[in-house]
Structure 1
Amino acid sequence: MVGRIFFAWMKGSRLDCDAKKWRLFADGLNDLAIFLEIVAPAFPPIFTLTICVSGVFKSIVGVAGGATRAALTMHQARRDNMADVSAKDGSQETLVNLAGLLVSLLLTPLVTDNILLTYLLYALFTSLHLYANYRAVRGVVMETLNQARLSLTVNDFLRLGKVPPPSSVNPREPLLPAFHRRLSVRLGAPLNSILHSAYDYQRATENNQKNYLLGLHRNAGTVSICLRQGAGSVDVIEACFHAEILHQLLHQDVSAWSVERDTFTQLQETVKAARDERLWDAVAATHLLVDQLFPRLLSEARSAGWETQRNQLGADEWRAQWRLEAKKRQ
């Protein structure tokens, strides 16, 4: 019970954003829990501890599996028929469990008192299970943008000059928990994580008439984005697009880009030569680039089939108010 509570508290807000990744994680953790139950009798001194750890793993599987199932069911309910999809998903699971029960009746007499065969069959069926789930999750094509899909989309846009469709991006989305960026994005951060003085406020709002403020901490490897009260989904996508441009400038080779190559090359040289940890000059300059490039990205993304009126970018709940010096670009 404590494991369920702590996992939901720590990772609950991320389950919607990376539903496919956490679905695969739940499957793998469930198989690990079963493995611990199988090997527990071989270690009598720690039998109780092993079974308890397996129970915690299964409780986490219950949270992650149930939550991601709901997210994927919502994605599959294209006619707003969540109840219908959920009912048929339950029937499919019941059918599979029935087939598993019949097979287990045949296998149980064979594996009784034969621990080697038990381990071999477990390894075989677990491998098939993980492979089938990986292929199933990989086949899901989601039209909403999360951090990973946005990163791939922006990268293709800058390199090739066009926005790829969801069917091209989803098969390349990383599904393993080991995936991490060299520059992490904190979206919906509190204002004091960006502004520490009047000078910071002046630099953060320079060339900026948007519904977000962005602060870069190069040494910490983070981009903090404070959203303005009333910021919508398009504003959130624009803020993450801006953060992705900064990530590319800091950690990627921009010489092969087809979009604004000369401008980005010059900016990258400026960034490399700068000693300012906050890189306010680069942030102000990229505001102008975002003004120029984002309308094109947004238009092509909608034409390619991406959903922009909602997103799964994982914004926190912090919002702030500040004065815009001029009328915001429509």
Structure 2
Amino acid sequence: MADCASLRVPLCTEQFGSRAPRACRAAADGSLQWDGARRWGWLSGNPASEPGQDAGGGGGPWAALPALSGLRAVLLPQGFPDSVSTDYLPYQLWDSVQAFASSLSGSLATQAVLQGLGVGDAKASVSAATSTWLLKDSTGMLGRIIFAWWKGSKLDCNAKQWRLFADVLNDIAMFLEIMAPMYPIFFTMTVSISNLAKCIVGVAGGATRAALTMHQARRNNMADVSAKDSSQETVVNLAGLLVSLLMLPLVSDCPSLSLGCFILLTALHIYANYRAVRALVLETLNESRLQLLLKHFLQRGEVLAPASANQMEPLWTGFWPSLSLSLGVPLHHLVSSVFELEQLVEGHQEPYLLCWNQSQNQVQVALSQVAGPEAVLRAATHGLVLGALQEDGPLPKELAELREQARAGPKKESWILVRETHQVLDTLFPKFLKGLQAAGWKTEKHHLEVDEWRATWPLSPEKKVS
């Protein structure tokens, strides 16, 4: 039989996810005795329902009642919170608020469109309503195809900005639908424009949702995260439907009240979307985040953490950068003679060639066949450093001297400045890259916008010998 000492020494332990582990000891009769076995949570065989423990191992609202524990299993990904990114919960909460507001606004807009089509009007023509509906749908389909061709490759790079853009555009589309019945002569044109905007919203919103799901899924569980996101949205839309059934009879006979409700709901929708997007903490680098980090690094010698940089990232102005940076352009855009090619190649052996137009503040980069993520990141950093020479503000000594040389006396040739910044980056970039990795940024992949052109060129003469 087991003695008293053996009762105190655990034979083994187990834990569910990140919850506090429980120990197993040998009982006096030789059976296994688990700590906390009398708790109904463990006896039920469902650790997720153990009272007094939440996902982090402590007390929490999800574990307070069996109903909340069941709701968690239905609406949240398996293994939450360890199976998703740390920004998952705040983002999803604000996303639910915006979806609820959008559901109510959509009900008001749908009612207005149906009134404009003649629902409830004995004089309305079915064929006219059908023609309007078909024209509206065909306009939207064409818009969806054109927008996906025009901006599809850019949606990954600026997922937050395009997500916010899509929701604001959706509000504009619904506003057009509400206003359409007030001007019957323009009704068909108005609802067609509105549906065009909604189809663009569908492309931008769907694509950015996929990009954000990829960011949030941390255990190769994109399907689960996406499915639970769909469940959350369905629950919110059901709640919105019930509230709409109560709201619509109250505002249907008063256009001004309906418009007032729509304005309030739109304000809530935009605010909740802003908070949702601002809650995201993306650890991959796009151009705006890289520019923000590089500027801070050049001024203070340190790299911001992802949480700090994401809070500072512009959400409205990211579409119009001050520097035009093009990565992966065709080589014939950069050079038109042997001399120009030699000037770009001379003095370095990096797998990219860079051309800088100072007057237009435009940087074009041709990439080699062997250029990987780190080379692309250095090329983008190089272009942003050249852009920083055009701006005021503190810079490291070497770059400050280059800026003075570029501004004083006869203007230096662009290719000379490019070559000199290559030499500065030989020292600067490894420190910057190490700082990025130490701060928690993912440098093995990026969300920089890169075209598909690749090229080969002769090595620099002074490098051939080595």
Which among 35, 41, 64 is matched to residue 175 of structure 2?
A: 35
Secondary structure, aligned partner of 2:390: helix
2:123 equivalent to 1:123? no
Bigger Rg over Cα: 2
- Structure 2 vs 1, CA of residues 26 and 275 (structure 1 numbering), >3 Å: closer, same or farther? farther
Aligned-partner Cα distance in 1 for 2:307–2:240: 33
d(CA) in 2 for partners of 1:106 and 1:176?
A: 36
CA distance in 2, matches of 1:276, 1:321: 31
Contact persistence 1:211–1:231 (CA under 8 A): yes
Residue 323 in 1 paired to residue 444 in 2?
no
Q: 1:292 to 1:56 in 2, by over 3 A?
A: same
Q: Deviations over 1:228-261 (max 9, x none)?
A: 00210000000011011101001233xx33xx32
The residue aligned with 1:308 is: 443
Q: Is residue 196 of structure 2 the alignment partner of residue 196 of structure 1?
A: no
5 Å-filtered alignment, 1:112-191, equals 112-177=252-317, 179-191=319-331
1:19 aligned residue (159, 162, 183):
159
**2:190 matched to 1:50?**
yes
* Counterpart position of 1:208: 348
Match of 2:389, SS state, is helix
Report SS of the residue matched to 1:189: coil
CA distance in 1, matches of 2:319, 2:197: 21
Equivalent-residue separation in structure 1 for 2:219 and 2:318 (angstroms): 35
TM-aligned CA deviation for residue 273 of structure 1:
3.6
Matched, 1:272 2:407: yes
Q: Which segments of structure 1 move beyond 6 Å, counting only runs of 4 or more?
A: none
Q: Deviations over 1:297-330 (max 9, x none)?
A: 11111111000111000100000001223669xx
- Alpha-carbon shift at residue 176 of structure 1 (Å): 1.1
What TM-score do the two structures reach when normalised by structure 2? 0.67
1:36-86, Cα deviation, whole Å (9 max, x unpaired): 000001111111100000010011011001000000000000111001100
- Give yes or no for contact 1:189–1:225 (8 Å, CA) kept in 2: yes
CA RMSD of aligned residues (A): 1.5
Identity %: 51
TM-score (structure 1 length as normaliser): 0.94
Q: 1:78 aligns with which of 206, 218, 227?
A: 218
Counterpart code for 1:169 = A
Code of the residue aligned with 2:349 in structure 1: it is Q
1:246 aligned residue: 386
Report 1:209-228 matches (<5 A): 209-228=349-368
Work out which of the residue numbers 417, 429, 433 in structure 2 matches 1:294: 429
Cα offset for 1:208?
Answer: 1.9
Question: CA separation in 2, counterparts of 1:17 and 1:154?
Answer: 18
Alpha-carbon contact 2:361-2:387 (below 8 Å) kept: no
Quickly say closer, same or farther: Cα 1:177–1:185, change in 2 above 3 A: same
User: What runs of 5+ residues in structure 1 fail to find an aligned partner?
Assistant: none
